[in-house]
Amino acid sequence: MQKRILGKSGLEVSALGLGCMGMSFGYGPATDQQDAINLLRAAYEKGVTFFDSAEAYGPFANEELLGEALAPFRNEVVIATKFGFKNGKPPEGLDSRPETIRAVTEAALKRLRTDRIDLLYQHRVDPNVPIEEVAGTVKELIEVGKVKHFGLSEAGVQTIRNAHAVQPVTALQSEYSLWWREPEGEILPTLEELGIGFVPFSPLGKGFLTGKIDETITFDKTDFRNTVPRFSEENRKANQAMVDLLSRIANERKATNAQIALAWLMAQKPWIVPIPGTTKLHRLEENLGAAKIELTGNDLKEINEVLSKIEVQGARYSEQSQKMVNR
């Protein structure tokens, strides 16, 4: 697996990371503990060194899972986790007060069975706590060695600049994919200017770009996609046009939809590191195959031209969740 460096931070990670949320939370029932451990260890054996978690995934269960699974090779991997929700529960609202950040960090260190967090993100920007205060608190944690790098998630340009002025931001984690390209407007140029890496989550459109989801699928009652307008039956049907085109491009290159979608992301900038998630070994292997695909300038031009003719239908978040992004 090739390596990439997140911006100017010097933090080196595998070109593709692993988003671990779905093993514990969000996409239906949690994965069997031993099956998840096996998958995490298989990812490491196949070259993945970048694992993404959060206290909110479970809550807490995902960090405990990573702590157990990655313990045998802790010093060879980069673990990212996040703070920012009251009691680790998104429905309870935001909480990035300094005392909360410190308490969450101590608890996460125990769950992750480690003496430092390689990359600590603010999960969502808290409008009640100045970002300078958040950055200053993480700076203190970095100074005492409990945290190595500071990250933000779904933050707007001014927030990124204000935070970066207090404590250099190593990475921004936000949604970015062929069907959500909003970061290209202001976010990517700002990150390039400041030397900040970009970690796209949902790089496969929460599974939709794989071509395995159509209007006939019924999601588990605990699957958060039930609340996402873009995943309504009507919008899934309308958005199938994008998948059909992606399938054609993938077939021409003897690859899968997922591989083309990930290769496209990695081709945008050398400091972009997508973190596709999965609970299945064959999907992990498929996703990692994207790192071997090099799209040419002509490939990228064709993909952009073809997909620019399609307007994706439906918002990417519920109205409530949308209020927490791009602050």
Question: What are 175-185's pLDDT values in tens digits?
Answer: 999 999 999 99
CA 306/CA 321 separation, integer angstroms: 30
**321: Cβ–Cβ under 8 A, 6 or more apart, which residues?**
227
Distances (CA, A) of 96 to 4, 89, 195: 30, 13, 25
Q: Is the full-model pTM beyond 0.85?
A: yes
Q: 206: closest CA among 227, 185, 184? A: 227
pLDDT of 307: 84
pLDDT value at 324 more than 90? no
Grouping H, G, I as helix, E, B as strand and the rest as coil, residue 76 is helix
Q: What is the mean pLDDT of residues 8-14?
A: 97
pLDDT of 309: 87
- pLDDT tens digits for range 36-92: 999 999 999 999 999 999 999 999 999 999 999 999 999 999 999 999 999 999 999
State the DSSP H helix or E strand holding residue 150, giving kind and residue range, or none if neither: strand 147-153
Sign of CA dihedral 173, 177, 182, 183: positive
State the DSSP H helix or E strand holding residue 13, giving kind and residue range, or none if neither: strand 12-14
Residue of 17 and 307 predicted with greater confidence: 17
Q: What is the mean pLDDT of residues 6-33?
A: 96
Give the pLDDT band (50/70/90) at residue 290.
very high
pLDDT of 327: 84
| Residue 109, both tokens | 């260190």
CATH architecture of the domain covering 3-205+265-295: Alpha-Beta Barrel (3.20)
- Residues annotated as part of the active site: 57
Give the pLDDT band (50/70/90) at residue 321.
confident
| Residue 126, both tokens | 């808290």
pLDDT value at 110 more than 90? yes
Q: What is the mean pLDDT of residues 128-144?
A: 98
Give the pLDDT band (50/70/90) at residue 245.
confident
Give the pLDDT band (50/70/90) at residue 317.
confident
pLDDT value at 326 more than 90? no
pLDDT of 320: 82
Give the pLDDT band (50/70/90) at residue 188.
very high
What percent of the chain stands above pLDDT 90?
A: 93
pLDDT of 319: 84
Q: Residue 48, Cα to own-chain centre: how many angstroms? A: 14
Q: 95: closest CA among 142, 147, 56, 150? A: 56
